[in-house]
Structure 1
Amino acid sequence: MLEREMVDHFRIYPDEIVFIGDDQLVYANAETYLLRTIDDRTHQQLSEKISMAQWLTHQGETDIAIYMKPADKRNTLFIDGDDKVVFHIPQQQMHDGSKKMSLGKRLARFHERGYSYSPKDKKVTAFLSSWKERWEKRLDQLEHWYVKISQNPEKTAFDEQFCLTFPYFIGISENAIQMMADLAMNNTANQMTPAKTICHERFQEHSWLTLEEEMESRVKVPTDFTYDHYARDLAEYIRTVWLEHDGNSRGEEMIDTFLNHYESEHPLMLMDQQYLFARLLFPAHYYEKIEQYYQTGHQGKKALLQTDCLRLFHFSADYERLLTFICRRYPLLITGNVIPQWIRKGDFSWQSG
């Protein structure tokens, strides 16, 4: 099916097809193509994401995967029940090892090229940039589940744990939402505009792809792009590193190094530090796992998610240490009244023992 679609739409005759995670790489005539499955939301925003990619390329950003439009009126290929976007992967250049640039520096320069971008679809822009509204919707949905589960007389042991820990997570969620409301008021009063740019849905260490083992991760796939405050990318990188390293010294070192390199190109102003902190304060990782657990019907996946969720329940204090770490790095955060009072006072649960 895939081979026929590639031939019918692009006259590309695959030599080899390789799976990398959820993506497929097609090798044909010494060229490389990437097929990525997308959901309805990404499909609706695809035109804007492609415009972002074209803008970045025009501004000099390299290694951007090039969108390939099918031969008919569709924007995607429909293969085995899924919508797939096809990209041509540009040939990566061998970079002099002595001139290798750190991920933090490269991300800062990537953001720099996106600041002057003006989104074409204002509705998409409004949806993408409203953290407070999206967080409120996720909170409302989870609160609805909590009420339903707590009233169920046949709760499982996991349900009991979810109900027991939910008030803690709803509390810090409300803190993050209130912080965004306060920031919006302050920005309006001070006539300040948040620094929006082209960034990523969820930036991680390997968001940019590499096709060769000895090469840096450099290939940017447009379906990852979004238009938002640049602190989004910093926060999601920091969150992922912290959770992957259980908040140990190695994780702290990686985060510090990443931020040092980023700020050598683009220092964070106080407002940007506050956006960074608010995004970290909202426990998006908790919502993601709980939503996946209660929405999946696959028992094997459910068991794995249960393990992940129980770990989040039991080690929430470790994540609070990330908040203290960020406050130590940016001490101006605890001045003023935007940061929640319990954080300004240092009233963390991990200190109470």
Structure 2
Amino acid sequence: MGVPGMFEKNIYDQYGLYCDEKYQFGQYEGFRSGSRFYVLMPSLRRHDHLWVQLEWAERLKGRGVPQIAELVTDTAGNMVTRVDGVQQLLFQLPEEEDRSGLSEGEALAMMHEFGDGWVPEVNDLHLYGRWLSFWETRMEQLEAFHHTIDQRLQKTAFDQQFLYTFPYYLGRAETAMQWLVEEGKEHTLPPFHGTVNHTRFKPGAWMAADENRTQVKLPLSFVYDHPARDVGECLRYCYEQDDLAFETEFLEAYARGQTFQPQMWALVGARLIFPLTYVELMEEHYLNEGTNEDRTKTDEVQFEQLLEREERYMQRVSQCLRDTLPRSAEGHWFMRDRSFVQ
């Protein structure tokens, strides 16, 4: 938040819009101007990334995918504008009501179908067929963190928990990578069969300004990958939050638009087994160590919560894979001891 009145002044000076009411859309700041709603998002990618994501958005809108936010340029025609001291992008949320009647699962299946094969010429947005290399790199970084922390003479409570739990999560990551190769057969994926996905899809990932404007999709979250990415991340959220009702609803709705093939489930399984939440927490903590004491306390709480739900989470994952891939998901994949929580 800037100085009271400064945000409104920035918006008027840069875009010629009056800010009638400010909103918080999740982690993003937004506002209403008349009957229209807007949201600001930090500009984190290069312009060539943005052009690809905006092109995807236009194509999806042209194919009938509802409720996609539209970029607004400033009065000088620039896409990126400094607001509250930060380089940001402004998106207008759709004005019309969502009359499609589609659930999140059905709308996601439609996006995956219509976005099939739109390969970007931007490497950072092209994640299809690259999970194994990404996961290996991230685990190598965590191993480096582990070595550094182990050498410290003074260790925090977070450090101690990291040292204690890392061997288990390293084993889980290695299992995920083995599953990705042996069951998911990532190396056999046909080229150009990826589609428009999201960086991290979960229930409620699409923004809602009010009850009539649901499922608003933000182009900055778009990446190119296998549909198993979105499905797997949605299930990860459901299993971590114990929301099995949404899991059932989501899968049934998605299946009305897309067929679940065995390789799809195998790739979903690899994502679920890979300990992404743990990896992200360790990365955030140690890459930003010492910058914010309040953040350190928050990280400690999140770590404890993650450990508390680990056993239940893996039970959900193993059951999911036994249901969908009974021959592949037999005991040896899930027999590793998980009784490390103190």
Distance 2:14 2:197 in 1: 30
Is 2:249 the partner of 1:253? no
* Letter matched to residue 264 of structure 2: D
Structure 1 residues 274, 194: closer, same or farther in 2, change over 3 A? farther
Is 2:285 the partner of 1:281? no
Shift of 1:286: 0.5
* Letter matched to residue 208 of structure 2: T
Structure 1 residues 312, 278: closer, same or farther in 2, change over 3 A? same
Structure 1 residues 306, 44: closer, same or farther in 2, change over 3 A? farther
Query: 1:76 pairs with 77, 80, 92, which one?
Result: 80
Distance 1:113 1:36 in 2: 25
The secondary structure found in structure 2 opposite 1:210 is coil
Distance 2:152 2:200 in 1: 35
Distance 1:69 1:340 in 2: 54
Matches within 5 A, 1:90-169: 90-93=94-97, 95=99, 100-119=101-120, 121-126=121-126, 130-169=130-169
Is 2:12 the partner of 1:18? no
Instruction: Provide the residue aligned with 1:342 in structure 2.
Output: 332
Distance 2:151 2:18 in 1: 57
Distance 2:221 2:314 in 1: 28
Is 2:38 the partner of 1:64? no
Runs (5+) with no aligned partner, structure 2: 1-5
**Alignment RMSD, CA only?**
2.7
Query: 1:203 pairs with 186, 201, 204, which one?
Result: 201
The secondary structure found in structure 2 opposite 1:35 is strand
The secondary structure found in structure 1 opposite 2:269 is helix
Shift of 1:340: 9.1
Shift of 1:270: 1.0
Instruction: Provide the residue aligned with 2:90 in structure 1.
Output: 86
The secondary structure found in structure 1 opposite 2:17 is coil
More helix by percentage: 1
When the two structures are aligned, how many residues end up with a matched partner? 333
* Letter matched to residue 30 of structure 1: S
Q: Determine what percentage of the aligned residue pairs are the same residue.
A: 26
Are 1:105 and 1:264, in contact at CA under 8 Å, matched by a contact in 2? yes
Instruction: Provide the residue aligned with 2:316 in structure 1.
Output: 322
The secondary structure found in structure 1 opposite 2:74 is coil
Distance 1:93 1:127 in 2: 33
Are 2:127 and 2:224, in contact at CA under 8 Å, matched by a contact in 1? no
Structure 1 residues 13, 253: closer, same or farther in 2, change over 3 A? closer
Instruction: Provide the residue aligned with 1:237 in structure 2.
Output: 234
Distance 1:69 1:129 in 2: 34
With 312-321 and 134-143 compared, the bigger mean Cα shift is at 312-321
Runs (5+) with no aligned partner, structure 1: 246-250
TM-score (norm 1): 0.84
- Map Cα deviations across residues 116-136 of structure 1 (whole Å, 9 max, x no partner): 4242x2423445652222211
Are 1:187 and 1:193, in contact at CA under 8 Å, matched by a contact in 2? no
